[in-house]
Amino acid sequence: MRRASVALLLVSFVAACAPDAQESFDAPLDRPPNFVVVFADDLGWGDLGSYGAPVIRTPHLDRMAAEGQRWTNFYVTASVCSPSRAGLLTGRLPVRNGLYGDQVRVLFPGFVGGIQDEEITLAEALRDLGYSTGMFGKWHLGDGPRYLPTRHGFDYWFGIPYSNDMMSTLPREERRAAFLDPKIEYWDVPLIRSERDEAGEIVTETLEQPADQTTITKRYAEEAVEFIRAHRDEPFFVYLPHSMPHVPLFRAPGFEDHSGAGLYGDVIEEIDWSVGRILDTLEEEGIAGNTVVFFSSDNGPWTAFRTQGGLAGPLREGKGMTWDGGMRVPGLFWWPGTIAPEVVTNEIGSTSDLFATFLSLSGGAVPDDRPMDSLDLAPVLRGRGEGPREEVPFYRGSELYAYRVGNYKAHFVTEGEYGLAGERREHDPPLLYHLALDPGEQWDIAADRPEILADVISRALQHRAGVAVAPSEFDLRTGR
Task: Establish whether 242 is a catalytic residue.
Answer: no
Region class of 139: left (phi > 0), else alpha (psi between -120 and 50), else beta: alpha
Listed in sequence order, the residues at least 6 apart from 293 whose beta carbon sits closer than 8 Å to its beta carbon are 36, 38, 64, 68, 275, 278, 279, 282, 332, 333, 334, 335
- Residue 252 has phi, psi (to 5 degrees) of -70, 155
Task: Please identify, using beta-carbon distances, which residue of 318 and 349 lies nearer to Mg ion.
Answer: 318
Q: How many residues does the chain have?
A: 480
Give the nearer residue to Mg ion in terms of CB position, either 327 or 361. 327
Least distance from C-beta 199 to Mg ion, angstroms? 36
- Cα–Cα nearest to 158, from 89, 228, 216: 216
Largest CA distance in the chain: 79
The residue range among 40-48, 153-161, 452-460, 469-477 that interacts with Mg ion, by the rule CB under 5 A, is 40-48
Q: Which residue is nearest to Mg ion (CB)?
A: 81
Selecting among 60, 140, 242, 258, the annotated active-site residue is 140
Q: In this chain, which of 41, 47, 67, 272 binds Mg ion, going by CB under 5 A?
A: 41
Residue 417 interacts with Mg ion (CB under 5 A): yes or no: no
| CA gap 226, 242 in Å, rounded | 16
Quote the least distance from Cβ 149 to Mg ion, whole Å: 17
Range 136-165, binding Mg ion (CB under 5 A): none
Of 38, 42, 244, 310, which lies in the binding site for Mg ion, with binding defined by CB under 5 A?
42
Strand partners for 215: none
Catalytic residue among 81, 152, 231, 242: 81
**Binders in 276-335 for Mg ion, by CB under 5 A:** 298-299
Pattern 1-30, binding to Mg ion, x per CB under 5 A? Answer: ------------------------------
Query: Known catalytic residue: 140?
Result: yes
75-104 footprint of Mg ion as x/- string (CB under 5 A):
------x-----------------------
Cβ atoms 93, 86 nearer than 8 A: no
**By the rule CB under 5 A, 473 interacts with Mg ion:** no
Q: How many residues in the shown chain lie near Mg ion by CB under 5 A? A: 5
DSSP line for 252-313: -GGGTT-SSSHHHHHHHHHHHHHHHHHHHHHHHTT-GGGEEEEEEESS---GGGGGGS---T
Q: Is 392 an interacting residue with respect to Mg ion (CB under 5 A)?
A: no
Bridge partners of 244, per DSSP, are none
Give the binding site for Mg ion (CB under 5 A). Answer: 41-42, 81, 298-299
Catalytic residues: 81, 140
